């Protein structure tokens, strides 16, 4: 879908359908014809209740009125949802060029960003493996071809930025939704390499089983031992052309990339196992966020590390009771082979530190227990370092992704002490599983500021109008916003230092 902005009034934009948001008690911002839109409101057909829709015709085009609710309750997510439901109705009506008139007096909500994201995310379809795809492409399926954002002020930059981020989210959803026989660790590495080839500021290195073993990544290698599929240690580096400001920390994004998780010898129940292709959602978020950061040319250095493998049963698979040695030198007893994600991340976090990362964020579909605790609404996060945790929380708020802080505590850390090794990969049952998993990862972050995001509940089937089923691409928006905030904060600090020196 092409995306652009215009300072012309919505009625003057070359679109066959225009969307106008209704805020409770405020009426129609700009009417058309002989008060056609106001009449639709007066009749009760068009309402300000969130997600309500009404359609009319005036001036040779369709008008969709969508409810936004009360102004005091309106936020970016409300606009994002309104854009998604309006897109669905517009598509049903055969719209080819859609124009959105942005809500007035809502600058702080980033309405242009929300409208573009809601529309593009709602337009997402995953049909790569459907035999009808080629014939549909030939016949043109009637999807919306263009989105125009209309506002009194120039929204070019905001619209362009939102389009890049939304496309990155949808690309992450493609990775999540692709069947595991096609989305292998090798295929995941190829996607990272393709992004690096598209951006001069991005480089990629992919190492296989031999390289993982050579680096002493015994924990990662143990997970990969059960599959014949070649694992992949994927390293992406982003170096901005203009250079980062002095003092700007190197960000380290680390993603769990288990492309299929059967649980290993501690095999999962068969119910729901088909969805275990999405156990690489953290990796998808890291890879596509790096692509978006490169496309946006943000002035900050970022290292992305992904550990990609399958977790299967095989003659060389790790066994309950085994002891392995991580790259950090800590020994780990394997008490459950289905607690494999933390093993992969342990070595990847250590690798990110070796590569010079100074602030760490890891994303993983790590524990089903976080889904039990927070459902599909919030991702849980743990932070070592108040300032860095607050920065991540602010980035998530900017991005419109909900996260909820969970505790780190020395008594949780006690529960991961091993009997025959330094650590166990699984604490006793029903003892705060998401927290003990976070404490396990904490042992591999050194003294660096670090945040862990458990996205097990939010990565799949969110039920939101713009991502109802399948992969959600969660984390991409937050990582990009975090990179933006980190670069801006460092640049402000540098400017202040320069001013004080002069």
Give the model's pLDDT for residue 35.
95
For position 220, which CATH number holds?
3.40.630.10
Average of pLDDT values for 46-51? 97
Together in a domain, 143 and 257 = no
Measure the CA dihedral 342/343/347/349, to 10°. Answer: 0
Together in a domain, 83 and 181 = no
Angle between helices 476-501 and 156-177 (to 10 degrees): 140
**How far is Cα of residue 53 from the mean position of the Cα atoms in its chain?**
29
Of 132-141, 271-280, 443-452, the poorest mean pLDDT is in 132-141
pLDDT at 316 exceeding the cut of 90: yes
Answer yes or no: are the C-beta atoms of 248 and 300 closer than 8 Å: yes
Together in a domain, 310 and 445 = yes
Average of pLDDT values for 243-266? 93
Residue 27's nearest CA partner among 17, 9, 39, 15 is 39
- pLDDT confidence of 502, banded at 50, 70, 90? very low
Say which residues have a Cβ less than 8 Å from residue 312's Cβ, sequence separation at least 6. 226, 227, 260, 262, 264
Give the model's pLDDT for residue 33.
87
Q: How far apart are CA 306 and CA 419, in angstroms?
A: 30
Domain that holds residue 199: 163-490
Together in a domain, 178 and 34 = no
Please report whether residue 158 resides in a domain: no
Answer yes or no: are the C-beta atoms of 346 and 439 closer than 8 Å: no
Together in a domain, 137 and 222 = no
Please provide the distance, in angstroms rounded to a whole number, between the alpha carbons at the two ends of the chain.
49
Per the structure, the count of domains in the chain is 2
Average of pLDDT values for 454-459? 98
Q: Which helix H or strand E contains 172, and what residues bound it? A: helix 156-177
Please report whether residue 502 resides in a domain: no
Residue 480, CB-side half-sphere exposure with 13 Å CA sphere: 30
Q: Which helix H or strand E contains 229, and what residues bound it? A: none
Say which residues have a Cβ less than 8 Å from residue 220's Cβ, sequence separation at least 6. 212, 231, 233, 307, 309, 327, 343, 344, 346, 347, 348
Together in a domain, 290 and 438 = yes
Together in a domain, 261 and 316 = yes
Say which residues have a Cβ less than 8 Å from residue 180's Cβ, sequence separation at least 6. 259, 260, 276, 277, 310
Please report whether residue 499 resides in a domain: no
Give the model's pLDDT for residue 14.
96
Percent of the chain with pLDDT over 70: 95
For position 93, which CATH number holds?
3.40.220.10
Q: How far apart are CA 465 and CA 84, in angstroms?
A: 6
Residue 32's nearest CA partner among 59, 66, 2 is 59
Give the model's pLDDT for residue 136.
52
Please report whether residue 497 resides in a domain: no
Together in a domain, 332 and 413 = yes
Together in a domain, 136 and 176 = no
Give the model's pLDDT for residue 365.
98
Greater model confidence, 455 or 132: 455
Say which residues have a Cβ less than 8 Å from residue 330's Cβ, sequence separation at least 6. 346, 422, 423, 443, 444
Domain boundary at 102, 122, 153, which? 153
Together in a domain, 81 and 140 = yes
Answer yes or no: are the C-beta atoms of 88 and 465 closer than 8 Å: yes
Answer yes or no: are the C-beta atoms of 232 and 350 closer than 8 Å: no
**SS3 of residue 153 by DSSP:** coil
Please report whether residue 495 resides in a domain: no
**SS3 of residue 444 by DSSP:** coil
Residue whose token pair is 């760490």 = 360
Give the model's pLDDT for residue 85.
98
The phi, psi pair for 103, rounded to 5°, reads -60, 140
DSSP string covering 247-302, please? TPPPEEEEEEEEEEE--TTSPPPSTTGGGGGGGGHHHHHHHHHHHHHHHHT-SS-E
Answer yes or no: are the C-beta atoms of 368 and 430 closer than 8 Å: no
Please report whether residue 298 resides in a domain: yes
Q: How far apart are CA 119 and CA 100, in angstroms?
A: 10
Average of pLDDT values for 379-405? 97
**DSSP H helices in 43-155:** 76-92, 111-122, 133-139
pLDDT in tens, 170-190: 999 999 999 999 999 999 999
Residue 264's nearest CA partner among 337, 325, 363, 329 is 337
Positions marked catalytic: 268, 342
Domain boundary at 106, 130, 153, which? 153
Percent of the chain with pLDDT over 90: 91
Domain boundary at 123, 153, 183, which? 153
Answer yes or no: are the C-beta atoms of 232 and 210 closer than 8 Å: no
Please report whether residue 80 resides in a domain: yes
Give the model's pLDDT for residue 138.
40
What does the mean pLDDT of the chain come to? Answer: 95
Please report whether residue 463 resides in a domain: yes
Together in a domain, 300 and 262 = yes
Together in a domain, 88 and 21 = yes
Q: What is the pTM of this model?
A: 0.96
């Amino acid at each position: 879908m092409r995306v652009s902005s215009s300072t012309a009034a919505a009625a003057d934009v070359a679109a066959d359908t225009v969307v106008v948001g209704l805020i409770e008690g405020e009426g129609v911002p700009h009417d058309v014809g002989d008060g056609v839109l106001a009449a639709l409101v007066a009749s009760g057909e068009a309402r300000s209740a969130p997600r309500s829709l009404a359609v009319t015709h005036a001036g040779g085009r369709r008008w969709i009125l969508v409810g936004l609710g009360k102004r005091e309750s309106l936020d970016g997510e409300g606009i994002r949802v309104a854009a998604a439901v309006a897109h669905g109705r517009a598509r049903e009506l055969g719209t080819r060029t859609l124009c959105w008139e942005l809500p007035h007096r809502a600058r702080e909500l980033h309405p242009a960003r929300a409208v573009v994201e809601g529309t593009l995310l709602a337009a997402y379809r995953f049909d790569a493996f459907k035999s009808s795809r080629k014939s549909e492409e030939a016949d043109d399926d009637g999807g919306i071809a263009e989105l125009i954002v209309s506002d009194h002020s120039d929204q070019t930059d905001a619209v362009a930025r939102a389009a890049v981020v939304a496309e990155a989210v949808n690309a992450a959803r493609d990775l999540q939704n692709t069947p595991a026989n096609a989305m292998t660790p090798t295929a995941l590495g190829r996607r990272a390499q393709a992004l690096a080839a598209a951006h001069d500021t991005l480089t990629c290195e992919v190492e296989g089983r031999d390289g993982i073993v050579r680096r002493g990544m015994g924990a990662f290698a143990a997970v990969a031992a059960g599959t014949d599929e070649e694992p992949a240690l994927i390293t992406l580096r982003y170096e901005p052309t203009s250079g980062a400001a002095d003092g700007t920390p190197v960000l380290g994004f680390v993603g769990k990339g288990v492309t299929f998780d059967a649980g290993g010898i501690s095999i999962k129940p068969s119910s729901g196992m088909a969805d275990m292709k999405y156990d690489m959602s953290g990796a998808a978020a890291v890879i596509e966020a790096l692509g978006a950061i490169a496309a946006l040319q943000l002035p900050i250095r970022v290292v992305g590390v992904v550990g990609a493998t399958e977790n299967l049963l095989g003659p060389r698979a790790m066994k309950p009771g085994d002891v392995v040695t991580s790259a950090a030198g800590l020994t780990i007893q394997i008490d459950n082979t289905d607690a494999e994600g933390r093993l992969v991340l342990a070595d990847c976090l250590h690798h990110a530190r070796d590569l010079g990362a100074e602030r760490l964020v890891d994303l993983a579909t790590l524990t089903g227990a976080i889904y039990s605790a927070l459902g599909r609404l919030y991702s849980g996060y743990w932070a070592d370092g108040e300032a860095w945790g607050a920065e991540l929380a602010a980035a998530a708020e900017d991005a419109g992704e909900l996260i909820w802080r969970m505790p780190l505590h020395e008594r949780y850390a006690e529960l991961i002490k091993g009997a025959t090794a330094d650590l166990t990969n699984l604490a006793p049952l029903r003892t705060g599983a998401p927290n003990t998993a976070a404490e396990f990862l904490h042992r591999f972050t050194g003294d660096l500021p670090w945040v862990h995001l458990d996205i097990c509940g939010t990565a799949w089937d969110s039920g939101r109008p713009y991502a109802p089923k399948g992969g959600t691409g969660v984390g991409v928006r937050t990582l990009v916003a975090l990179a933006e905030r980190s670069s801006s904060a460092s640049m402000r600090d540098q400017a202040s230092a320069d001013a004080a020196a002069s």
